[in-house]
Structure 1
Amino acid sequence: MRLTMDQIVNAVCLHLAERHEIPVESVEVELLYDEEQGFSAEVWVQGRSRFLIEANIKEAIMRYVLQEFGQRVYPSQIQLDVEDEIWADISQ
């Protein structure tokens, strides 16, 4: 299974909205990749900025895949990658 960049952004938005008990519209996400730092995301929750590391992104993807596709996946099954944009490959 492959998740697009938009699906990853949606996963992070839904995850943070649930955790902070706020409307999903109150969350903004920008996915980032740096050769030294790896994958991360800058998020704005109700106007406050913070950064998520790759483990946080994978946690959001795990919840998203369970809610949207009814499949339980683990962090070791999720591989983030980037070419023109970021995507996630999920192995079975």
Structure 2
Amino acid sequence: MQKLIIPEEDIVLAICVYIGEKQQIEPDNVQVELFYDDYSGVSAEIITPSGKQELITKQIITALREWIKDNLHADPYAGLKLDLDRRNGIYARLRYDS
């Protein structure tokens, strides 16, 4: 079993694409700010032309799973976890069989 680390920039990209598809807007029109809380985990504030919204961890993982399937052609259900590295920020860890 191997691990793939997905950096914060790719998580933001996955969210932009996900929200863009849901709201039928260009991903460039989506602004994302990620947050980490010791109790609730990772969340995101999204700003689009239609307003602000907050995504919880479950929604972020859904966006990442779609991005992983479409861009990495890997099994998005192989074990995905969001976490925080105090130096490098928020990241996702995907476990998969090679």
TM-score, normalising length: structure 2:
0.87
Runs of 4+ aligned residues of structure 1 deviating over 6 Å after TM superposition are none
CA radius of gyration, larger in: 2
Alpha-carbon separation, structure 1, partners of 2:62 and 2:84: 18
Report the identity percentage: 27
More helix by share: 1
Segments of 5+ residues of structure 2 without an aligned counterpart are none
CA RMSD of aligned residues (A): 1.2
| Structure 2 residue corresponding to 1:16, chosen from 1, 16, 19 | 19
Distance, in Å, in 2 between the alignment partners of 1:30 and 1:63 is: 19
Deviations 1:12-55 (A, max 9, x none): 00011011110111100001001122110001121511100000
1:29 aligned to which of 2, 27, 32: 32
The two structures have a TM-score, normalised by structure 1, of: 0.92
Q: How many correspondences in the alignment? A: 91
Deviation at 1:73, TM superposition (A): 1.2
Q: CA separation in 1, counterparts of 2:50 and 2:32? A: 11
Query: Which stretches in structure 1 are left out of the alignment for 5+ residues?
Result: none
Structure 1 letter corresponding to 2:90? I
Partner of 1:66: 69
Letter paired with 1:55: K
Query: Letter of the aligned partner of 2:37 in structure 1?
Result: D
